[in-house]
Chain A
Amino acid sequence: MADMHHPERAKQPQDDSAPSLTESEVLAELFELFNASTPSQPNSSLDAIIQPRNSPAHTCSETSASSTADPDLAQVFQHSADSILENSDSLSPDHSFAELQKLLFNFDQAQLNQLKHRLEEPEQRAADVGQVLRQAILLQSMETEQYNLFVAAMMPTVEQAIQESVQNDEQVIADAIFPIVGPATRKAIATALESTIQRLDQLLEQSLSPSALQWKLESLRTGKSFAEVVLLRTLLFRVEQVFLIHRSTSLLLQHVVAPSVAAQDPALVSAMLQAITDFVQDSFTVQAGDRLETLRFGDLTIWIEQSPQAILAGVLRGQAPVELRVVFRQAIERIHRDLGLALVAFQGDSSPFTAARPHLEACFQTEYKASEHKKGRPYFWALAACVTLGLGIWGYQDWQARHRWTAYLKQMGAEPGIVINSAEKRWGKFFISGLRDPLAIDPATQLSINGINPNSVISQWQPYLSLHPQLMEARAKQILQPPATVSIAVNEAGVLSAIGSAPLNWIEETRTLVRAIPGITQFKNEVAIAELQALGDSRSRIEAQILLFEENTTNLLTHSQTLDALVKEIQTLTQLTALLHRQVRIQIIGRTTPRGTVAQNVLLSQERANAILEILVAKGVQPANLVAIGIGASQPLSNPQIPSDQLNRSVTFKVLFTETSIPRTGSP
Chain B
Amino acid sequence: MIQKKVCMVGAFATGKTSLVARFVSSIYSETYQTTVGVKIDKKLVQMGEQGLMLILWDLHGEDDFQKLRLSYLRGSSGYFLVVDGTRRATLDKAYILQSKVEAEIGVVPFVLLLNKTDLQDDWELEDSAIAEAVNKGWTVIKSSAKTGLGVEEAFLTLSRKMLEI
**Closest Cβ of chain B: how far from A248's Cβ, in Å?**
5
Given known pairs A267-B53, A271-B57, the reply for A348 and B26 (CB within 8 Å) is no
Whether B71 and A251, one on each chain, are in contact in the complex, defined by CB atoms closer than 8 angstroms, is no
Asked if B77 CB lies within 8 Å of chain A CBs, one says: yes
Whether B27 and A268, one on each chain, are in contact in the complex, defined by CB atoms closer than 8 angstroms, is yes
Which of the segments B38-46, B112-120, B130-138 contacts the partner chain? Answer: B38-46
Q: Across the interface, which residues of B come within 8 angstroms of A63, CB to CB?
A: none
Whether B53 and A272, one on each chain, are in contact in the complex, defined by CB atoms closer than 8 angstroms, is no
Q: Choose from B40, B71, B75, B77 the contact partner of A268 (Cβ within 8 Å).
A: B40
Whether B5 and A250, one on each chain, are in contact in the complex, defined by CB atoms closer than 8 angstroms, is yes
Asked if A442 CB lies within 8 Å of chain B CBs, one says: no
Whether B37 and A271, one on each chain, are in contact in the complex, defined by CB atoms closer than 8 angstroms, is no
Q: Across the interface, which residues of A come within 8 angstroms of B103, CB to CB?
A: none
Whether A349 and B72, one on each chain, are in contact in the complex, defined by CB atoms closer than 8 angstroms, is no
Whether B5 and A251, one on each chain, are in contact in the complex, defined by CB atoms closer than 8 angstroms, is yes
Q: Across the interface, which residues of A come within 8 angstroms of B36, CB to CB?
A: 275-276, 279
**Closest Cβ of chain B: how far from A457's Cβ, in Å?**
65
Whether A268 and B69, one on each chain, are in contact in the complex, defined by CB atoms closer than 8 angstroms, is no
Q: Choose from A264, A271, A349, A350 the contact partner of B5 (Cβ within 8 Å).
A: A271
Q: Across the interface, which residues of B come within 8 angstroms of A348, CB to CB?
A: 2-4, 52, 77
Measured CB to CB, the nearest residue on chain A to B37 is A279
The 8 residue pairs across chains A and B that have the minimum distance between CB atoms: A249-B75, A348-B2, A278-B71, A271-B40, A248-B75, A279-B36, A251-B3, A348-B3
- Mark out the residues of chain B between 1 and 47 whose CB falls within 8 Å of any chain A CB in the assembled complex: 1-5, 25-28, 32, 36-38, 40-42
- Mark out the residues of chain A between 219 and 252 whose CB falls within 8 Å of any chain B CB in the assembled complex: 246, 248-252
Distance between Cα atoms of A351 and B53 in the complex (Å): 13
Distance between Cα atoms of A487 and B162 in the complex (Å): 121
Q: Across the interface, which residues of A come within 8 angstroms of B26, CB to CB?
A: 268
Asked if A282 CB lies within 8 Å of chain B CBs, one says: yes
**Closest Cβ of chain B: how far from A635's Cβ, in Å?**
144
Asked if A66 CB lies within 8 Å of chain B CBs, one says: no
Whether A265 and B3, one on each chain, are in contact in the complex, defined by CB atoms closer than 8 angstroms, is no
Asked if B100 CB lies within 8 Å of chain A CBs, one says: no
Asked if B87 CB lies within 8 Å of chain A CBs, one says: no
What total of A-B pairs shows CB separation below 8 Å?
72
Contact sample, A vs B, 22 pairs, CB 8 Å cutoff: A248-B74, A249-B76, A250-B55, A250-B74, A251-B3, A251-B5, A264-B27, A271-B5, A271-B57, A272-B32, A275-B37, A275-B40, A275-B57, A278-B69, A279-B36, A279-B37, A279-B38, A348-B52, A348-B77, A349-B2, A349-B3, A351-B1
Whether B5 and A282, one on each chain, are in contact in the complex, defined by CB atoms closer than 8 angstroms, is no
The contact string, 1 if C-beta is below 8 Å from chain B, for chain A 332-361, is 000000000000000111110000000000
Whether A251 and B55, one on each chain, are in contact in the complex, defined by CB atoms closer than 8 angstroms, is yes
Distance between Cα atoms of A250 and B40 in the complex (Å): 11
Q: Across the interface, which residues of A come within 8 angstroms of B5, CB to CB?
A: 249-251, 271
Asked if A575 CB lies within 8 Å of chain B CBs, one says: no
Measured CB to CB, the nearest residue on chain B to A272 is B40
Distance between Cα atoms of A529 and B75 in the complex (Å): 132
Distance between Cα atoms of A114 and B8 in the complex (Å): 77
- Mark out the residues of chain A between 71 and 113 whose CB falls within 8 Å of any chain B CB in the assembled complex: none
Asked if A497 CB lies within 8 Å of chain B CBs, one says: no
Whether B42 and A282, one on each chain, are in contact in the complex, defined by CB atoms closer than 8 angstroms, is no
Whether B55 and A268, one on each chain, are in contact in the complex, defined by CB atoms closer than 8 angstroms, is yes
Whether A275 and B75, one on each chain, are in contact in the complex, defined by CB atoms closer than 8 angstroms, is no
Asked if A625 CB lies within 8 Å of chain B CBs, one says: no
Measured CB to CB, the nearest residue on chain B to A277 is B71
**Closest Cβ of chain B: how far from A549's Cβ, in Å?**
143
Q: Choose from A250, A264, A265, A276 the contact partner of B75 (Cβ within 8 Å).
A: A250
- 5 new A-B contacts at CB < 8 Å, known A248-B75, A250-B5: A250-B74, A267-B42, A267-B55, A271-B55, A271-B57
Q: Across the interface, which residues of A come within 8 angstroms of B27, CB to CB?
A: 264-265, 268-269
Whether A267 and B74, one on each chain, are in contact in the complex, defined by CB atoms closer than 8 angstroms, is no
The size class of the interface chain B forms with chain A is 20 to 34
Distance between Cα atoms of A248 and B72 in the complex (Å): 10
Whether A281 and B3, one on each chain, are in contact in the complex, defined by CB atoms closer than 8 angstroms, is no
**Closest Cβ of chain B: how far from A444's Cβ, in Å?**
71
Q: Across the interface, which residues of A come within 8 angstroms of B42, CB to CB?
A: 265, 267-268
Whether B69 and A251, one on each chain, are in contact in the complex, defined by CB atoms closer than 8 angstroms, is no
Whether B28 and A272, one on each chain, are in contact in the complex, defined by CB atoms closer than 8 angstroms, is yes
Distance between Cα atoms of A267 and B40 in the complex (Å): 9
**Closest Cβ of chain A: how far from B107's Cβ, in Å?**
16
**Closest Cβ of chain A: how far from B52's Cβ, in Å?**
8
Q: Choose from A249, A281, A351 the contact partner of B71 (Cβ within 8 Å).
A: A281
**Closest Cβ of chain B: how far from A407's Cβ, in Å?**
72
Whether B38 and A275, one on each chain, are in contact in the complex, defined by CB atoms closer than 8 angstroms, is yes
- Mark out the residues of chain A between 541 and 590 whose CB falls within 8 Å of any chain B CB in the assembled complex: none
Q: Choose from B3, B28, B52, B76 the contact partner of A267 (Cβ within 8 Å).
A: B3
**Closest Cβ of chain A: how far from B129's Cβ, in Å?**
33
Distance between Cα atoms of A278 and B25 in the complex (Å): 23
Most chain-B CB neighbours within 10 Å: which of A251, A271, A281?
A: A271
- Mark out the residues of chain A between 110 and 147 whose CB falls within 8 Å of any chain B CB in the assembled complex: none
**Closest Cβ of chain A: how far from B54's Cβ, in Å?**
10
**Closest Cβ of chain B: how far from A266's Cβ, in Å?**
10
Whether B57 and A279, one on each chain, are in contact in the complex, defined by CB atoms closer than 8 angstroms, is no
Distance between Cα atoms of A275 and B5 in the complex (Å): 12
Measured CB to CB, the nearest residue on chain A to B5 is A249
Distance between Cα atoms of A315 and B50 in the complex (Å): 32
The contact string, 1 if C-beta is below 8 Å from chain B, for chain A 281-297, is 11000000000000000
Measured CB to CB, the nearest residue on chain B to A275 is B38
Given known pairs A271-B40, A275-B38, the reply for A350 and B3 (CB within 8 Å) is yes
**Closest Cβ of chain A: how far from B157's Cβ, in Å?**
17
Q: Across the interface, which residues of B come within 8 angstroms of A249, CB to CB?
A: 3, 5, 75-77
Q: Across the interface, which residues of B come within 8 angstroms of A349, CB to CB?
A: 1-3
Distance between Cα atoms of A268 and B53 in the complex (Å): 11
Q: Across the interface, which residues of A come within 8 angstroms of B55, CB to CB?
A: 250-251, 267-268, 271
**Closest Cβ of chain A: how far from B4's Cβ, in Å?**
5
Distance between Cα atoms of A351 and B2 in the complex (Å): 9
Q: Across the interface, which residues of B come within 8 angstroms of A347, CB to CB?
A: 2
Measured CB to CB, the nearest residue on chain B to A271 is B40
Q: Across the interface, which residues of B come within 8 angstroms of A264, CB to CB?
A: 27
Whether A252 and B3, one on each chain, are in contact in the complex, defined by CB atoms closer than 8 angstroms, is yes
Distance between Cα atoms of A662 and B55 in the complex (Å): 131
**Closest Cβ of chain B: how far from A273's Cβ, in Å?**
10
Measured CB to CB, the nearest residue on chain A to B105 is A248
Measured CB to CB, the nearest residue on chain B to A346 is B3
**Closest Cβ of chain A: how far from B39's Cβ, in Å?**
9
Whether B71 and A282, one on each chain, are in contact in the complex, defined by CB atoms closer than 8 angstroms, is yes
Distance between Cα atoms of A246 and B5 in the complex (Å): 11
Q: Across the interface, which residues of B come within 8 angstroms of A276, CB to CB?
A: 36
Q: Across the interface, which residues of A come within 8 angstroms of B52, CB to CB?
A: 348
Whether A268 and B2, one on each chain, are in contact in the complex, defined by CB atoms closer than 8 angstroms, is no
Q: Across the interface, which residues of B come within 8 angstroms of A279, CB to CB?
A: 36-38, 69
Q: Across the interface, which residues of A come within 8 angstroms of B32, CB to CB?
A: 272
